[in-house]
Amino acid sequence: MKRRFFLPVTLLAAGIFTMSGLVGSDMQSATAQSAKQERALENTLYLDLKDGRVTIKMRPDLAPNHVARIKELVREGFYDGIVFHRVIDGFMAQTGDPTGTGSGGSGQNLEAEFSLENHKRGILSMARAQHPDSADSQFFIVFDDASFLDNQYTVWGEVTEGMDLVDNIKKGAAGSGAVDDPDKIIKMQMAADADK
């Protein structure tokens, strides 16, 4: 009798271990999924314009140092209220200069992180002076294909939603792209911080 009793208990115990293994596996999967979502939010940027919200996927895989610096500036509120001082129809909209003149920045230059990523519609890339390591806080959003910029400017993000809102940014004068009474960034924030 003890044997008959012992065998089912052993089988039952084995079943419990199997079930706990499944539960543990599900918990690990849920934890991994949660961590993945957290990383996605940490690399998603919200850009609020006069017409609504633009969602941007940041690309630390292409430009980790630029992405880290943009995050710092965003969390400081640096970009809030800054104008799109240079907007060329069919090319790009440039912003990120607190003086609104195109010659200002945050005061911290970054080493270039050029890549072969194509400067296509919706790409965000760093503006710079002639020296490759002169990017600071200014960036531009590409309206149309601009592959002639590839491997010469640091790509750090891409619009995933709201490109039609970017299209509505007030355009500047032909040639220079200088904008009278320019549109501005209402607010920039990390998606990870949006509910805080």
d(CA 124, CA 63) in angstroms, rounded, equals 11
What's this model's pTM, rounded to 2 decimal places? 0.82
pLDDT at 20: 56
Mean pLDDT across 103-111: 97
In the predicted model, what is the mean pLDDT of the chain? 89
Which pLDDT value is given to residue 18? 52
Distance CA(24)–CA(36), nearest Å, equals 18
Tell me if residue 57 falls in helix, strand or coil: strand
**Looking at residues 159-166, what average pLDDT do you find?**
98
| pLDDT over 50 at 168, yes or no | yes
CB atoms within 10 A of CB 18: 10
Residue 70: which H helix or E strand, with range?
Answer: helix 64-76
> Taking the chain, what is the end-to-end CA distance rounded to the nearest angstrom?
63
pLDDT at site 12: 46
Q: Look at residue 166 and tell me whether its pLDDT is greater than 60.
A: yes
Count Cβ atoms below 10 Å from residue 131 Cβ, excluding itself: 9
pLDDT band at 40 (very low <50, low <70, confident <90, very high): confident
Q: What is the mean pLDDT of residues 62-71?
A: 98
Burial class of residue 196, CB neighbours in 10 A (0-12, 13-18, 19+): exposed
Give the pLDDT confidence score for residue 37 in this predicted structure: 72
What confidence score (pLDDT) does residue 154 get? 98
